[in-house]
Chain A
């Protein structure tokens, strides 16, 4: 069982308190944008997800903790969390991720 750093609680907590919540940084288009989108674009938004080997931005939910959804960069090969960050923060750049990697995981 992993430990996951919750950016709201600001501590590492047992994985069993968390739930995975899919890929991160897929913003829901607003009402106007939705109407402008073709069916193909809408399907892309609904169904198409990355299946990354390596660092993956994804959402987690501290369901049995502070109840907050947050984002994380996790390496899908090593299963290590590189960094977790609050909802609303921007997707980290590749260079930011490699910096975090050098500094060790959170």
Chain B
């Protein structure tokens, strides 16, 4: 076993050795190890290169706060994840990991020249240097920056993994499973609360796992933890969720949890969910996230082997790994003494404790001396040496200018503790500055939430346990034996004899920000911490400054000569730790990304090889190509057969609203521009709906089924908003009306038959309806049956041909369609899609709301004054139609266009001008709204919105296209086909 292992310590399974690879080399570890702990056990501290200067780096921490040891993990095609923290990645047999930001190798890195020339890379370097010329950005600066800076490469293949997402509700959500979290869970569980307890680590217990010297109620910390976990597991009302990170805290105690299911497993069955996003609504949230130890800022503090004292404790107690053989401890807080003593107890030589403070409790010094550890009070580390790993520290005392060198293979540092306020801040809880300890603490809650234990500044196991019990609704006070957590001193500046130009003391390890950068930012006029942050990028890396924010604040406020609270604190934002896009998407990928609504007849169209187009969230058959036809050929054929004989079209997506009640016609009168009172039962009418602003909002055919019942149709895309518009007016403006609305869009399948043979086709199958033109004229609706299925049969036409729209209950839609298609063979029945439908209606000059109108078109503009009642006192939009702007001359009006060259089909959206020789920018008169090849007419037809269009009849306008071609077209009335509507009367 490796000389760095301490068998008997830690939670790793010494009976289960695991081999994994790092940068192509195989390493040994045990089940329960992380990549970092296993590498440390193999004597490896160098795990990555830094972002900007490519400096060699090793792990600073042992958990999710880790800024340095970022690695890429690969497990097969598409499963490459960059920027993972080696400190949280559990190993499994065959795990492939690699360091980042180095070329050609971790040991020697070409980009390290950035380090040598780092004097040229101060804060704001990129901002200042790459400003000019602008054209250099794409080709020179950006590629350079991307190559030299940055973290791991983004994956290029599709992620093959599955992710999930669920909602859940609980009474109490506890984040963090240290002593505070466990005690809270115990208490809440006893109160019969539904509890969810989450922890980002694989093992629950937090600091209890690395506190072997602590006893709780007479049990060792380990035994108490085990007993407590067993109790909670058995309680039935506590859900324990390890490997689960609370990534964001939102309104009304809505907390997002990302649970990792498989990243730690050697074998993952296909299809298994990798991560689940739990969207939790909690009655109460208890935040027990603990505190993060603060690094000290001194020259060379980023050398591999320099790490937080608590991290060394964690490596020892959770993984059984000594981070070195001969350690130096550098601290400004008592807690590091405990770490040192514990490591000493595990057979690690502690060469010295360097304490920056001038005064330290005697009992600590005595205990150190008892253990044979040198203590240097009032001294600081002024430099470090070593390449892939620290080999020596230089210590310094400023008053007597004492200097001394000490050999070591790891340096532990402790600059105090920073309570974790991330989630508290997400929830908009306020914070207050505690000048004594130099930290921010939670102040007022904004949600039903408490922050307890170390994250509330209450350090020590007993304080955490008691606070936990109280937060969970209990009253228990615990008896503990534990070393005094002690006190510390915050240094905004550690003395040094070196010229500042010769030093490099890092604040933000991940973004390579030094104390000099922060001071420079302040000198250059950045006085708010938010600005300092953006200029220096301090705290903007993937770790969000977990270890750096407060040091940056101390340095900036000192440089500004202000108190820290006056300088502020940067905002914490979700996610707490980097989160995969997969987890955020959950199940909503591929087919589940968005709803695709399909009609009952859709499977038939698919079987026929139809080409589909999306219309809103519906997919509709666009055209039905036969034998290698292109769209043009298919549409020409579909149009021709429909006009000559018979076409069949799936109109099921039309919105339908049943308007029912004694006041139904009154309501219709208010919602539509035209009158409804006198529409007889069994008759239909085209209705035009305006917004209150007077612009066309929607349209559709409405049938009166009974005195008190209208069958209203809307455009496909407009259905939801028309329903809302109607409900809104009914509930809020006309509540006195006795009328009710029900969406019936999907109650009915709608099969439109158009063409001279339409009546002949259905006649044999319709019962209970006299289909003769006298009994069943155009624009009428009858109830009866077809193929024995009840139907609301409309005689309407959106093509200009004899037409019927057969409404049948949607569960019969497909069967009736198939039967009609079969029976229609003798008429060469031809299915057509939305494109042919558009052509046929354009030939007749029927508008499509949203295509020929754009939300600024009035009925007058559309040439539809005939449909606006002059008699009605009120309807939605009426008053607006009288506004001076809306009755003004020269508005854009809907006209027809015939191209001089009948073969030219104008582009929809093309701009129209009067004089193509005018210099650019020309005066634009309007644009083409609809344009098609009309097979029936043997020429193209178009509609356009053109300024003062009605007064331009017969005139020639120009449509200049990209590339210099200019089309000519003549303004006509927008009715191209059968202007007198005779074809409706075919017998």
Contact indicator A69/B251 (Cβ below 8 Å): no
Q: A19 to B94, alpha carbons, bound, how many Å?
A: 51
| Residues from 716 to 740 in B contacting A, C-beta threshold 8 Å | 724, 727-728, 731-733, 735
Contact A63 B693 (CB under 8 A): no
Is residue B135 within 8 Å, beta carbon to beta carbon, of the partner chain?
Answer: no
Report the separation of the CA atoms of residues A1 and B253 in the bound assembly, to the nearest whole angstrom: 9
- A12 CA to B281 CA in the complex, in Å? 12
Is A2 an interface residue, CB under 8 A from the partner? yes
Which residues in B have their C-beta under 8 angstroms from that of A63? 724
A103 interface hit (Cβ, 8 Å): no
Given A21-B728, A31-B874, A37-B879, check contact A88 B250 (CB 8 Å): no
| A39 vs B279: C-alpha distance when bound (angstroms) | 50
Please tell me if the beta carbons of A30 and B874 are within 8 angstroms of each other in the complex.
yes
In-complex Cβ contact of A42 among B254, B724, B879 (8 A): B879
B732 touches A46 (CB 8 A): no
B643 at the binding interface (Cβ < 8 Å): no
**Are A79 and B251 within 8 A (Cβ)?**
yes
Asked whether A9 is an interface residue with its Cβ less than 8 Å from the other chain, the reply is no
Residue A97 CB within 8 A of the other chain: no
Q: Within the complex, which residue of A19, A39, A69 is in contact with B731, where a contact is CB–CB below 8 Å?
A: A69
Contacts of B883 in A (CB 8 A): 39, 42-43
- In the complex, whether B223 has a CB less than 8 A from a CB of chain A is no
Interface size class of B (residues with CB under 8 A): 20 to 34
Contact B880 A87 (CB under 8 A): no
User: In the complex, which residues of chain A have a beta carbon less than 8 angstroms from the beta carbon of B735?
Assistant: 87-88
CA distance A61 to B732 in the complex (A): 11
Q: What is the CA–CA distance of A97 and B78 in the complex, to the nearest angstrom? A: 55
Give min CB distance, A68 to chain B, whole Å.
Answer: 7
Flag if A28 contacts B733 (CB, 8 Å). Answer: yes
CB <8 Å contact, A46 and B692: yes
Say whether B884 faces chain A, with CB atoms less than 8 Å apart. Answer: yes
- Residues on B with beta carbons closer than 8 Å to the beta carbon of A68: 731
Kindly state the separation between the CA atoms of A35 and B872 in the bound complex, as whole angstroms. 13
Total interface residues on A, using CB and 8 Å?
30
For A79, list chain B residues within 8 Å (CB): 251
Q: Is A34 positioned at the interface, with any CB of B under 8 Å from its CB?
A: yes
Closest to A27 in B: B733
Q: Given A1-B251, A2-B252, A31-B873: A67 and B879 within 8 A (CB)? A: no
Measured CB to CB, the nearest residue on chain B to A59 is B732
Contacts of B733 in A (CB 8 A): 27-28
Contacting pair A2 B251 (CB below 8 A): yes
Q: Which residues in chain A, 46-89, are within 8 Å of chain B measured between CB atoms?
A: 46, 59, 61, 63, 67-69, 78-79, 87-88
A92 to chain B minimum Cβ distance, whole angstroms, is: 17
Residues of B within 8 A of A1 (CB): 250-252, 254, 279
A83 to chain B, nearest CB (A): 15
* Cα–Cα distance between A1 and B169 once the two chains are bound (Å): 13
How far is A15 from B254 in the complex, measured between Cα atoms in Å? 11
Which A1-43 residues have a C-beta within 8 angstroms of B? 1-3, 12, 14-15, 19, 21, 27-31, 34-35, 37, 39, 42-43
Q: Which 10 A-B pairs have the closest CB atoms?
A: A31-B874, A34-B879, A31-B873, A2-B251, A3-B252, A28-B733, A69-B731, A1-B254, A39-B883, A2-B252
Chain B interface residues toward A at CB < 8 A = 250-252, 254, 279, 281, 428, 446, 692-693, 724, 727-728, 731-733, 735, 873-874, 878-880, 882-884
Between A and B, 24 residue pairs with Cβ closer than 8 Å are: A1-B250, A1-B252, A1-B254, A2-B251, A15-B251, A19-B724, A21-B728, A28-B733, A30-B874, A31-B873, A31-B874, A31-B878, A34-B874, A35-B879, A39-B884, A42-B879, A43-B883, A46-B693, A46-B880, A61-B727, A63-B724, A68-B731, A69-B732, A87-B735
